[in-house]
A = this chain, B = another copy of it.
Amino acid sequence: MDQKTHRCESDKQNLNNRLKKIEGQIRGLQKMIEEDRYCIDILVQISAVNAGLKRVGFQLMEQHTKHCLTDAIQSGDGEASIDELMKVVQQFSKS
């Protein structure tokens, strides 16, 4: 629960810049609702936000695999970490 992942500043900055952009897009969606914008236009925008959020997830997943998982495997402790990754990959694929 209090497991930590040390990320370098540039990775953190990069991830949070993307998340800030997504936060702005979510506010944009609220404005579209307020302004009675056409449903299909809003749905297209929701799809775009979802795809953007998944890209953040895949970026994080790659960093995780290249650092945390690689370390676990090199310490002979990969099995549990792989199970954990596979579980999140499946969850992601349905979301």
Check if A20 sits within 8 Å of B16, measured CB to CB. Answer: no
Please name all residues of chain B whose beta carbon is closer than 8 Å to the beta carbon of A83 when the two chains form the complex: 62
**Which residue from chain B places its CB closest to the CB of A26 in the assembled complex?**
B23
How far in angstroms is the closest Cβ of chain B from A89?
6
Check if B47 sits within 8 Å of A50, measured CB to CB. Answer: no
Chain A: residues with Cβ within 8 Å of the partner, total of 65
Interface set, chain A 25-57, CB cutoff 8 A to B: 26-27, 29-30, 33-34, 36-44, 46-51, 53-54, 56-57
> Which of the listed residues A7, A23, A57, A66 has the most CB atoms from chain B within 10 Å of its own CB?
A57
A70 to B6, CA, bound (A): 22
Confirm or deny: A10 has a beta carbon within 8 angstroms of a beta carbon on chain B. Answer: no
A16 to B88, CA, bound (A): 25
Give me the 9 closest cross-chain CB pairs, A-B, nearest first. Answer: A39-B64, A50-B95, A3-B38, A47-B95, A46-B57, A51-B95, A94-B94, A23-B26, A93-B93
